[in-house]
Amino acid sequence: MAGMESPGVLDEDDALDLLAFLVTSARTQVDEAREYGPLRLIMAAHRVADAMGPRSSPETQALIARDLPDDAVHRPADGRRGRRLRRPARRAVCGRRAAPDRALRPGRAVVTDAAYRSDPVLASIRRRRVTRAMTSEPLDRHLLETVLDAARWAPTAGNRHLQRYVVSDHPGTLRALRMVSPGMVQRPAAVIAICVDRPLAAAYGFPARATGPYVDVGTATATILLAAQAVGVGAGPVTSFSHAAVSVVLRLPDGWTPELLVCLGRPAPAQPQPVRRRNRLSWRDLTTWVPGPS
Ligand SMILES: Cc1cc2nc3c(=O)[nH]c(=O)nc-3n(C[C@H](O)[C@H](O)[C@H](O)COP(=O)(O)O)c2cc1C
């Protein structure tokens, strides 16, 4: 306002964080589902609000607390939650809509609940959730080593082990990673970058676009998420990041491509809502029997 002193509410580091977030969001959006566009803008708004919070006036803080939406939805004036900007249609299985779970419910408890109660591995699989809010507590190196050792036991095609793990618990490196990773909602205490050693894959005869090495990244990720949970560490996978920037930040050797970042840290007591809620799918929704169910 004319004539009024307006103190800066973002410092240079905050502004740089935001610029990196916006630019890498634009780049990663090219390869992502369209619904991530509005989500990234809301995330950018939250990052601005978080950074300016302590330096803005009480009136501005109150305005932000009241009016900043937490996701890309239209909110009616009465505060009720409105329609999402874009809700993807529930996907049909094998080209047709999956049979409603309701019709098959009688067998469900028999198949699942007893087994989940009696087997700790199944119970752990069911309990695991992505951690998107982490405390600032550092993680002991031995915990990270346990998780990395478990990852080594993940199955890999031909037992080739084409993936490499690049780990950091250095605050400056973690901050730089977060700047170029729009999908990194949490502030992790450590990150494991799962990379593929492309020259090694080529030496085994994999064509450049082969999908096999990506599958190994998936088995490693699942193993790491469960291992982290087993030692009381929260974990969250992230694939929305600038591959070029992450390679630079982590000083990756030539030919190592970063495919997935696993954020690690102690879970905060309150977790944000999942990015998107949809009707819970049962295994039946995802499964087709051939020639047909018995
Ligand atoms: C390949 C892959 C990539 C993912 N990328 C991100 C990401 O960039 N940011 C994020 O917050 N979550 C990411 N996730 C986590 C999923 O959103 C999460 O697993 C899903 O919402 C289900 O939540 P749950 O694992 O807690 O059940 C990713 C998960 C997978 C398997």
Q: Atom 7 of ligand 1 has which residue's CA nearest to it?
A: 238
Position with higher pLDDT, 10 vs 111: 10
Strand-pair category, 256-265 with 163-168: unpaired
Q: Atom 28 of ligand 1 has which residue's CA nearest to it?
A: 237
Q: Where are the beta strands (DSSP E) in 169-233?
A: 190-197
The answer to whether 139 and 187 are in contact (CB under 8 A) is no
Q: Which of 58-67, 138-147, 240-249 has the lowest mean pLDDT?
A: 58-67
Q: pTM, whole model, 2 decimals?
A: 0.81
The string of DSSP codes covering 60-78 is HHHHHHHH--SSSB---TT
Q: How far is the CA of 55 from the centre of ligand 1 (A)?
A: 33
Q: How far is the CA of 240 from the centre of ligand 1 (A)?
A: 10
State pLDDT tens for residues 60-118.
888 888 888 877 654 444 444 444 433 333 333 333 343 443 434 444 445 668 888 89
What domains can you pick out in the chain, each with its CATH number?
12-67 (no CATH), 116-265 (3.40.109.10)
Instruction: Give the three-class secondary structure for 219.
Output: helix
Q: Where are the beta strands (DSSP E) in 1-149?
A: none
Question: Residues enclosing ligand 1, CB less than 6 A?
Answer: 129-130, 132, 183, 185, 236-240, 274-275
Taking only Cα atoms into account, the Rg of the chain, rounded to an integer number of angstroms, comes to: 22
What's the start-to-end Cα distance of the chain, in Å? 73
Mean pLDDT of 262-272: 95
Mean pLDDT score of the chain: 84
Q: Atom 19 of ligand 1 has which residue's CA nearest to it?
A: 130
Q: In what order do the strands lie in the sheet with 234-238?
A: 163-168, 190-197, 256-265, 234-238
State pLDDT tens for residues 16-69.
999 999 999 998 888 888 888 888 898 899 888 988 888 888 888 888 888 888
